[in-house]
A and B are shown apart, each in its own frame.
Chain A
């Protein structure tokens, strides 16, 4: 599985490593819905660190799309919310 961290590039993760990420994902989602910036920053850092340590970077000259795209480590709540609102626009056909 390939994961992109915005602003940093792509990492290749084994299925096992991906399963280990689920709890981190929940933490980020909770922080985002609670609109808690500190919690969001902590959760994002933990999640991204985990990806950087368990994954291997995809070489720059390889052209592949990601299965998952994650916000940058220093994203603000605003950034994340904007991304989410764009995703809604993106989903509306037309």
Chain B
């Protein structure tokens, strides 16, 4: 065996030698090196936690995307029920876009899980080596004699420094991967925020929902109208044109004053918002005629 592996092995050995060159009192250096090992161990543990956090974030996003995909399926179903194939098609098209994102996330999730497992194993290995190093350094210090110190310290160092080099590389790699994932996760967050995907809080309604709701409310209005017409035609002195276009069915008797001419132009929600007393008083009194809620009598 020679070639590239020999060269790679040399990197690690060169690093060990550099560390050993700095030795003044070898016993002090053993303690100093042990501190550095503990620091690296801490760093590895933080690395494991970081990767786990990123993995959880991706799981959360995947859940959001799944919910959204289910919702779009329902919307498509509803749209078909009311005979709007165009809306159903739009919903399904969006869903397929989401599914692409989802399978992408699943790949990332698997990668992160792999990194997490590797780092966890690396951290266990390093822990065992650090423990072994601690025992060994105490033995060396106890039986220290300058003659044999260099050799024995060399032995203790080379094993641990190689392990540290390996685990250090693993940590660096996991950090790079996590940073990449975080950037992509951020992009999906932006996508969610921009409204291209649904707002997971459900505060904002997407256009398909709005249109479906509009369809639903239109048909409700039609049903209600049909019901009232039926009632009126059964009752005495019917004046059906007086309430045409009015959304909220009132128990207004047909004998009450006819609506002002502006009624048809007014959107129905204006009835829902009572104007403030101080400024809108004159308007209110004019409107009393057609608004039975504010009717004093």
Contact = CB atoms under 8 A, between A and B. Distances in A.
State yes or no: do A and B come from one complex. Answer: yes
Given A60-B129, A69-B162, A90 B3 contact: no
Interface residues of B, number: 36
Main secondary structure on B side of the interface with A = helix
Contacts of A86: 11
Contact of A69 (B5, B124, B125): B5
Interface residues of A, number: 33
B197 interface: no
B6 interface: yes
Contacts, number: 89
B238 interface: no
B133 A63 contact: yes
A7 B170 contact: yes
Contacts of A61: 128-129, 131-132
Interface of A: 4, 6-7, 9, 18, 21-22, 25-26, 28-29, 32, 59-71, 80, 83-84, 86-88, 90-91
29 contacts: A4-B162, A6-B170, A18-B1, A22-B1, A25-B2, A26-B3, A29-B3, A32-B4, A59-B128, A63-B132, A63-B136, A63-B159, A65-B16, A65-B159, A66-B9, A69-B5, A69-B11, A70-B5, A70-B8, A71-B8, A80-B4, A83-B11, A84-B8, A86-B11, A87-B11, A87-B14, A90-B11, A90-B15, A91-B10
